[in-house]
Chains A and B, each alone.
Chain A
């Protein structure tokens, strides 16, 4: 039973399209995150939600919009995709405020923009 699951695992799409990635966690955690890992494996936080409320929004283009319908789900919608959006996007969760410090990651969603 996967703790943090993301769908889809692979996305291949054309520039200008809109796409969404879904994330669900069954760990009962209050905090969820989206990370972007580029081709050089550099991992950078994009967003963090605590109990459906946005608490971290790093410098990310407005084309990226996270949505948290409940504390077990955090989806990422990307409008007008660009070549530079190609990356692996990881969803993660942690206990409230990450107090235990451990992030639980999903397996990632590899987005390729052509």
Chain B
């Protein structure tokens, strides 16, 4: 069965500092990986996705993620965090080519201090 682990429930960073959010997955075949962001009171918005090709993917809002098959990881990074990045971040995994069977992680809450 597929699963996603986000080991950090809550992370606090200073504005301007770099950020890395961890995501580990378990999946029997080539995974389709996503990062979504949920701002307070809002639905989830796709930041980026990976299903093949270059293992470093760029997303919106200056985020990037790197797929490491050997480590079963898909960590999200941003070089310089802005206060508006404070939100809940969800990693998800699913079968290649479909969103119908996505499994979401439990999320990491990012707090940004000024």
A93 nearest in chain B by CB position: B99
Instruction: Please report the C-alpha to C-alpha distance between residue A95 and residue B108 in the assembled complex, in whole angstroms.
Output: 27
Instruction: Please report the C-alpha to C-alpha distance between residue A31 and residue B36 in the assembled complex, in whole angstroms.
Output: 19
Indicate if B42 sits at the interface (CB-CB under 8 A): yes
B100 nearest in chain A by CB position: A98
Instruction: Please report the C-alpha to C-alpha distance between residue A90 and residue B90 in the assembled complex, in whole angstroms.
Output: 15
Of the stretches A14-22, A72-80, A104-112, the one at the interface is A104-112
Instruction: Please report the C-alpha to C-alpha distance between residue A56 and residue B107 in the assembled complex, in whole angstroms.
Output: 23
Tell me how many residues of B have a C-beta within 8 Å of chain A: 23
Distance between A37 CB and nearest chain B CB, rounded to angstroms: 9
Which residues of chain A from 17 to 71 have any CB-CB distance to chain B below 8 Å in the complex? 31, 33, 40-45, 48, 55-56
- B100 CB contacts on chain A under 8 angstroms: 31, 33, 48, 55-56, 94, 97-98
* Given A31-B100, A105-B44, residue A41 in contact with residue B88 (CB < 8 A): yes
